[in-house]
Amino acid sequence: MLNVNELTSLAEELSKASKKGMKIGLVPTMGALHDGHMELIKQARIHAEYVIVSIFINPLQFNQADDFINYPSNLLKDSDKLKNAGVDLLFNPDLKLIYPKKPAVKIDFGNISRNLEGAFRLNHFEGVGLIVMKLFNLIKPDVAFFGLKDLQQYVLIKNLIKEFSYPIKLYGVPTVREENGLALSSRNVHLSPSGLNIASQIYKGLVWAKKNFKTFNTSEALIIQLKKFYHPQDGLTIEYCEILNSNTFKPVKSLQSGGKITLFIAAYVESVRLIDNISLQE
Ligand code: AMP
């Protein structure tokens, strides 16, 4: 595996791969790799002949300085994992390479970026938009892989690809979970064993909601019950819990209306912010 952190060698390697007619796959990450990331890489190896993983902790998508400073990082361990997974190139640029100066351009994804993560993490998606466009422009992948744990992000990237006519096929990879249901996340390393246990309630509530949603007419009624489900769990603070159409990201009022209904949640456990979602359809 090549470890590249500047643009000339990146361009050379990309040119070699495309001369060989290889399909280039990109998996963008912020490192501290876990089995969720590894599943994206596994899919990339299936759908592309030359797999690039980027590791870049993008300051522009953090709305809290502490979260950025404390974001876990372990490049040596990550690099070993990527080698073992058969990745061809690790792109690990430093901050100055990606942002030689503070970007003046802002990416606004419109209405679908206004709620959920867009509402609770100010400017988060602006930052995501910039880094993803940079990576697309520098690497020009044929296929790109994003996790459905960050469903709103996935839909925004899908729109970005369409609106900017990137010739990129996007794959959304289902969420990889611990045995107890907790969605894998780099931030989980900050949780104590008891915190991990508390955090596993998040998905248990989502599964409860999926099982029972047909007995409720409105999203409001379901959310009230779901909050009661979570209430006894000390140490779990819900930030949002909303039911939206996952194409338009508009709130869904009636649960009997059909369409792509998804329940989204963000919660804090031991000051760690965790997100998850579940489709309420069969
Ligand atoms: P991150 O390093 O957290 O920015 O995530 C990089 C990519 O991995 C994003 O596309 C995430 O949606 C995806 N991802 C993160 N956690 C998981 C998971 N548990 N299962 C599947 N994909 C994930």
Task: Tell me the per-residue pLDDT of 208-230, one tens digit each, with 9 for 90 and over.
Answer: 999 999 999 999 999 999 999 99
First to last CA, the chain: 41
Q: Is the dihedral of CA 85, 88, 94, 99 positive or negative?
A: negative
pLDDT in tens, 227-264: 999 999 999 999 999 999 999 999 999 998 778 899 99
- Residues 32 and 74 sit within 8 Å (Cβ to Cβ): yes
Burial 177-198 (b: 16+ CB within 10 A, else e): beeebbbbbbbbebbeeebbeb
In this structure, how many other beta carbons lie within 10 angstroms of the beta carbon of residue 9? 14
Catalytic residues, by residue number, are 37
pLDDT of the residue at 281 = 82
pLDDT for the residue 259:
80
* Closest residue by CA, ligand 1 atom 13: 147
Q: What is the pTM of this model?
A: 0.97
pLDDT per position as a tens digit, 104-120: 999 999 999 999 999 99
Residues in the chain predicted with pLDDT less than 70, given as ranges, are: 282
Which of 26, 33, 40, 190 gets mutated to test ligand 1 (max ligand atoms within 8 A of its CB)? Answer: 40
> Whose alpha carbon is nearest atom 11 of ligand 1?
147
Domains in the chain, please, with CATH? 2-173 (3.40.50.620), 186-279 (3.30.1300.10)
Residue 245 backbone dihedrals phi, psi, to 5 degrees:
-80, 125
